[in-house]
Chains A and B, each alone.
Chain A
Amino acid sequence: MLLSLTLIAVVAAFALAFVSKVTEEPIAQAQQAKKEAAVKAVLPAFEKLEEAEIDGTSCTKAFDAQGQMVGMAIEAKSTKGFGGDLVAMVGFDADGNISGYQILQTAETPGLGAKAGDWFQEGSKGNVIGKNPATPLQVSKDGGDVDAISGSTITSRAFCDLINNAYQIFQKGGIE
């Protein structure tokens, strides 16, 4: 009894160790590729990228051919989400206007808060692209000018919080 259970557990452990070893690198690559794609998607046109770290947050600065900084992508987080942390890649142009965003991690309600990936994009109801968070973003319910996702005020507040967090980091490291 003891022997057979031990045997099964040992075989299972070896099988898992093997699969984990084989998939370790592709998983890391896939995550890296996803992050790079997000960085490219949120930034304005650029020639060269440079990784940086500001206050423990990973950022990517973008430069044009003349070495002039044209924008910055920041992996920002808000802890105020409805279902957990909300993480997104946020891009700013050199003046601090939002050039794009892409949600990286969300635990919001499917069908409600999970719409945040599209809701705040250009051409949608809650469009934030081109806005400058020098005056912090707020949903209209709180006196701001961002239309909240219907039925998901908490997620929308978390999203504004996330953009504002990103802007603070942009201000610390973005303007040279």
Chain B
Amino acid sequence: MKAVDIIKNGLVKENPTWVLILGMCPTLATTSSAVNGMCMGLATAFVLMMSNIVISLLKSLIPDKVRIPAFIVVIATFVTIVQMVMQAYLPDLYDTLGLFIPLIVVNCIVLGRAEAFASKNNVWHSLLDGLFMGLGFTWALTLIGLVREMLGAGAIFGHNFIGGNDGMLLFILAPGGFLVLGFLMALVRRIQNKA
């Protein structure tokens, strides 16, 4: 497998949000604004990359029967490290994202890539897969967050453009998240099918 294929898979062809449809819980929960979506995506990308590297390194060491608990321990360790480091050195970002960081553990993209990719491929390819799957997740979340923030709060990345603070609240709340996700997914798939 070539590196360029892995990059394409993560960003477009097998994009975790639009195509694999994995990790919908954080996708809906954190995209009430573009910044939140982006930060959540980047934090997930970091965890995904680190856990892919470690699991790829350990793959011959982990017996098949206990691979899932072993993967989860590795993933949870990295998530906890990210959480503590963020709380210590980036307290402002932690205030915005604090609630969602532990959610990364249960994000099935991370476990999914460990199982489907890192446990079968070498370290370099696993690193690339983790990084670009993570970035694919990041751009999807940023886009959903951007649309929801524009419709729901009348702002782009926190910059208000309609004046006043009343947007269509529906889009900030959970039902709006489902609506935007569905419509964007249809749009992205349509563009993909044409290309």
Q: Counting CB contacts under 8 A, is B80 at the interface?
A: yes
Q: Which residue of A lies closest to B70 (CB)?
A: A8
Q: Which residues of B contact A8 (CB under 8 A)?
A: 58, 62, 70, 73-74
Question: Of B74, B80, B89, B169, which is within 8 A of A112 by CB?
Answer: B169
Q: Which of A9, A111, A150: most chain B Cβ within 10 A?
A: A111
Q: Which residue of A lies closest to B76 (CB)?
A: A12
Q: Counting CB contacts under 8 A, is A27 at the interface?
A: yes
Q: Counting CB contacts under 8 A, is A65 at the interface?
A: no
Q: Which residue of B lies closest to A115 (CB)?
A: B165
Binary flags per residue of B58-92, CB closer than 8 Å to A gives 1, else 0: 10011101100110011011001100110111010
When chains A and B are docked, how far (Å) is the Cα of A5 from the Cα of B84? 24
CB of B91 within 8 A of CB of A9, answer no
Q: Which residues of A contact B99 (CB under 8 A)?
A: 107
Q: Which residues of A contact B65 (CB under 8 A)?
A: 1
Q: Which residues of A contact B130 (CB under 8 A)?
A: none
When chains A and B are docked, how far (Å) is the Cα of A5 from the Cα of B152? 47
CB of A30 within 8 A of CB of B73, answer no
Q: Counting CB contacts under 8 A, is B101 at the interface?
A: no
When chains A and B are docked, how far (Å) is the Cα of A36 from the Cα of B29? 31
CB of B88 within 8 A of CB of A111, answer no
Q: Which residues of A contact B167 (CB under 8 A)?
A: 111
Q: Which residues of A contact B77 (CB under 8 A)?
A: 12, 15-16
Q: Counting CB contacts under 8 A, is A4 at the interface?
A: yes
Q: Counting CB contacts under 8 A, is A26 at the interface?
A: yes
CB of A4 within 8 A of CB of B70, answer yes
When chains A and B are docked, how far (Å) is the Cα of A145 from the Cα of B99? 33
**How many CB-defined contacts (below 8 Å) exist between A and B?**
68
Chain A contact residue count (CB 8 A cutoff): 26
Q: Which residues of A contact B80 (CB under 8 A)?
A: 16, 19
| Residues of chain B from 101 to 147 with CB closer than 8 A to chain A in the complex | none
When chains A and B are docked, how far (Å) is the Cα of A29 from the Cα of B118? 38
Q: Which residue of A lies closest to B167 (CB)?
A: A111
CB of A4 within 8 A of CB of B73, answer no
When chains A and B are docked, how far (Å) is the Cα of A112 from the Cα of B173? 9
When chains A and B are docked, how far (Å) is the Cα of A19 from the Cα of B58? 21
Q: Counting CB contacts under 8 A, is A20 at the interface?
A: yes
When chains A and B are docked, how far (Å) is the Cα of A19 from the Cα of B169? 40
Question: Of A15, A22, A151, which is within 8 A of B169 by CB?
Answer: A151
CB of B88 within 8 A of CB of A23, answer yes
Q: Counting CB contacts under 8 A, is A110 at the interface?
A: yes
| Residues of chain A from 1 to 45 with CB closer than 8 A to chain B in the complex | 1, 4-5, 8-9, 12, 15-16, 19-20, 22-23, 26-27, 30-31, 33-34
Q: Which residues of B contact A4 (CB under 8 A)?
A: 61-63, 66, 70
Residues of B within 8 A of A (CB): 32-33, 58, 61-63, 65-66, 69-70, 73-74, 76-77, 80-81, 84-85, 87-89, 91, 99, 152-153, 165-167, 169, 172-173
Contacts A/B (CB < 8 Å), 10 sampled:
A4-B61, A4-B63, A5-B70, A8-B70, A19-B81, A19-B85, A22-B88, A26-B89, A112-B169, A150-B166
